[in-house]
Structure formats: structure tokens, C-alpha cells
Amino acid sequence: MGDQIIKHKFLYILLIIGFFEIHASENVQFSYLSYISSSGNIESEYPNTLRLNSNPNRALTKSISEILKADDQRIYNLFFGNMDSSNTGSLSLVIAIDKERIYSFKFNNKCLSSYFISTQTILFDPRDQKILSVYPNASRRMYIDPLQEDCNQRNSTLDFIRFSEFYLGIELSKDQVIKNLKLSDSEIISNLLSVSLSKEDGLPPIQESFVIKPVVSYINKINPYKLKYADNNVGINIIDIPKDSFLFFNGESFNKPNKYFMKGDTFSNKEYKNWLGQQFVKWFSDNYSYPVVPYSEGEALGKQVNLKFADRDELLNLTLPSLDYAFNLAIKPHKKVLIKENAGIKAYAYASYIDLSFITMDGSPTGINHFTHSIKNGLVEKVVGDDETDDWENFNNSTNELLLKYIDNLSKKDKKYIKNFVSVDSKRFKKDINYLTKTIGIEYEN
């Protein structure tokens, strides 16, 4: 009897060792940086990122690579050489720059400039050029400048310095910026790389960068084996902006359009849907380490992703997997409500509304609907005296918060949250979410 127990324990240990060997043997080629572009004209789409990562500095590529090379805790082998992964059967990992944008406008008698960067970290199989996982990350940094007639009249070198600060996780003083404005690109990059902020943990600033830190964290947590042999693909199927919502976002039923998602003089449904889908995927992935296939309308992340690599002329066409289960989102018009006024201070609530459905894909456009939850959120902003507040930043933040709180409560199931912000009661919510998590296989600790 004792020999049998010892034998079983030995076999169990062998199985555990074999399990980890299988995971550790998964090889992934790091393909560095690329740019999502249908035309390949990345010079006009990503001018500042290209300047930062240009030869001989290659500041972004080198900085990210150094951080990743210093970490040996991954459960897979990440290769940094030029391994031919398409022949070896190894997977490839690439950080794709998705958008580089500047939004400038007059605000409180100043020019307010919003610098926006978004990335897609993509794990794919080079043999069939099929995407296994996409992790989106979007960040924004604001600058206040003196008022001028046209806030969009820009200094290209100043924009380059600010984007570089943003990427590298640093913040220059006004005097440092003025000095750098007179230098060449290579001199500016060298100066920025040499800047060290005083931090207790002693980490280089780039390791805390809002752009780089989430990407590195995701790469270090990836389980390529699990992604390669996943049973189901879950993603976002439809994001609907009905006509009344479009009129609100376009400023026709509100006093101004959503300036963060304009194409010319018109609100861009496509840009807004892509942003909303990215935020949903990010929060879902961050909370449950579960890959969600992103939604994207049109060319950027539709059925195909066109990548232009930073270090070669190759234009790679990758395909997203077809969905087994999905989420449909319908966006309702938002509301701005004055909730309190006292001693010259006004408190406004920025309310956002979304209908979220969980479906099984059956070949039809909408799929088989299992449940729909109407969700709302209210973000409160206080305004002093005659000061202005950025209505659309508040609305966008409220919508982002709505997604975060809902996704967070898939595990928490907080009764107070459900009562105040979800259309179904706690009992129904729990039943729906248990069905969702069991169906797609979410694993989490309560």
C-alpha cells in the first residue's frame, strides 16, 4: 500500500514537471515595434514616434528591450534575435503603435493641448498570420499654453519633445524645454534619456511610463500556450451609436461636439467606437487576465490588421480570429445635470449610458442574445465661479469609468453598485454573470 502511494506521488510530480516544461518550452519572437497602417504611410501618421525611434538612437526600441531583457520571470522564452519564427513554429510578439494625436482648443483663456498615444500589443502565429491576442493601451497627457488666435498653430519641435517625454515617462522643467528647442533631434533624445527623476524605488522613469509600463506588464504576464490552444474566442461584435446618440456627440442636441473624436467638422463614429472597444478590452484583460478580441471598425483592427514594421519595409497582414461569444454595446445619449450650487461652486453630474448584451455568435449579425444589462454612471465635477470645465473630457471619463466599474463587478457583484447602476436586480445580475463566466471560462478569485 505504501509503495502504491509513493508511486502515485512520483507520477504526480512528473506530471507537474511536464506541465511546466510544456509551458516553458513555448518560444516567442519579439518583433519590436510596428505601426498599424493600411497605407504604409507611417511618416504622416506617426511623425513624432518615428523621430523618437529613428536611427542611431532608436530610443523606444532600445528602452523597451532593455526592460524586457532584465526580466526573467516569464513562463515562456522571449527571443530578441532574428529567429525565423515562421519556420520554427514559434509565435511572434509585436508592439504596434495605433494612434498618435494632438487635440488643441481654447479653454479658460488658454490653449489646452491633449497629447494622445495608443498601442496594440499583438501576439500572433506567423505561419498562418493569425492573431492570438491583442492588448490595447491608450494614454493622454495635457499641457496648458498661452492663448493664441489659433491653438492649432503648433511648434513641431515642441510637440516632438512632449511626445518623447510622454513615452519615456519624464517631465521636463520649462527651462529644460526651452534649451532643448534649440537642439537637433539626436541631441534632444540624448538629453531626455539622461534625465533621471528622483524616485524611492530607483526605477528608470520609462518603467513607470503610462505608455510603456502597461505594455511591459502585459508581455510579462502572457501565457502563450493557453492562448495558442484556447477553446473559444470572445470579443466585441457590435458597437452601436444610434441617431439620437450621434446627434448628441456631434453637438446638435448638446451645446458642443465631442472634440476628442472629430473628423473634420463631424463626430467620427468609427474613432469613438474604436476607443470604447479598446477601453473595454483593456479593463477586461487587466481584471481577469482573459484575452478579448478587440472591436474596430474599418481598417485598423477589423478582420485584418496591417502592420508596417519599424526596422524594415515589410507590410504584414494579420487576421483576427472569428468569434464564438461576444458583447454588443449600444451607446445612449449622455446627460449633464446641475446637482448642487453653493457659494459660487457648481457641482455637475456627467451621466453616461450603455446597453450591454452577451451573445453567442451563430452566423447572424446580432447573434443569440443571452442577456442585456442597461448600465449607467455619473461622474461629478465641481466648477468654481466663472471657470470652465471640459464637458467632453468629463463625459469620456464617465463612460470609461462605467466600463471599469461594470467589469470589476463581474467578480465583486456588489449589491449597492447593482442597485444604483444596473437595470436588473442583484439576483438576476448574479445569475447572468455566472452564466457568462462559466460559458467563456473566466477564472478569478473572489
**pLDDT at position 136 over 80:** yes
Mean pLDDT of 99-124: 91
The pTM is what? 0.83
How many Cα atoms sit within 13 Å of 302 on the Cβ side? 8
Mean pLDDT of 239-243: 96
Higher pLDDT pick, 131 / 395: 395
Mean pLDDT of the chain: 86
Helix, strand, or coil here: 128? Answer: coil
Read off the pLDDT of residues 385-394 as tens digits, 9 standing for 90 and up. 878 889 999 9
The set of cell numbers assigned to 19 is: 506541465
Higher pLDDT pick, 183 / 366: 183
Report the pLDDT value the prediction gives residue 203, as an integer from 0 to 100.
58
Report the pLDDT value the prediction gives residue 181, as an integer from 0 to 100.
95
Which residue, among 389, 116, 132, 429, has the nearest Cα to 274 in the 3D structure? 116
Report the pLDDT value the prediction gives residue 92, as an integer from 0 to 100.
92
Report the pLDDT value the prediction gives residue 299, as an integer from 0 to 100.
41
Read off the pLDDT of residues 397-443 as tens digits, 9 standing for 90 and up. 999 999 999 999 999 999 999 999 999 999 999 999 999 999 998 86
Higher pLDDT pick, 188 / 319: 188
**pLDDT at position 201 over 60:** no
Q: Where are the domains of the chain?
A: 1-233, 235-292+324-446
Mean pLDDT of 164-188: 92
| Cα separations in angstroms, 28 against 74, 84, 86, 220, 231 | 11, 11, 11, 12, 21
Report the pLDDT value the prediction gives residue 424, as an integer from 0 to 100.
97
Read off the pLDDT of residues 318-361 as tens digits, 9 standing for 90 and up. 888 889 999 999 999 999 999 999 988 999 999 999 999 999 99
**pLDDT at position 395 over 70:** yes
The whole-angstrom separation of Cα 304 and Cα 327 is 20
Higher pLDDT pick, 39 / 147: 147
Cβ proximity of 69 and 217 under 8 Å: no
Lowest mean pLDDT among 4-13, 40-49, 94-103, 206-215: 4-13
Mean pLDDT of 165-175: 91
Q: Where are the alpha helices (DSSP H) in 102-211?
A: 156-168, 174-180, 185-194
Contacts of 217 (CB under 8 A, 6+ apart): none
Cβ proximity of 306 and 31 under 8 Å: no
- Inter-axis angle of helices 426-440 and 391-412, nearest 10: 80
Which residue, among 323, 318, 316, has the nearest Cα to 129 in the 3D structure? 318
Read off the pLDDT of residues 7-59 as tens digits, 9 standing for 90 and up. 454 544 444 444 444 444 688 999 889 998 766 678 888 999 999 998 677 88
Lowest mean pLDDT among 20-29, 241-250, 287-296, 425-434: 20-29
Confidence of residue 84 (pLDDT cuts 50, 70, 90): low
Report the pLDDT value the prediction gives residue 300, as an integer from 0 to 100.
38
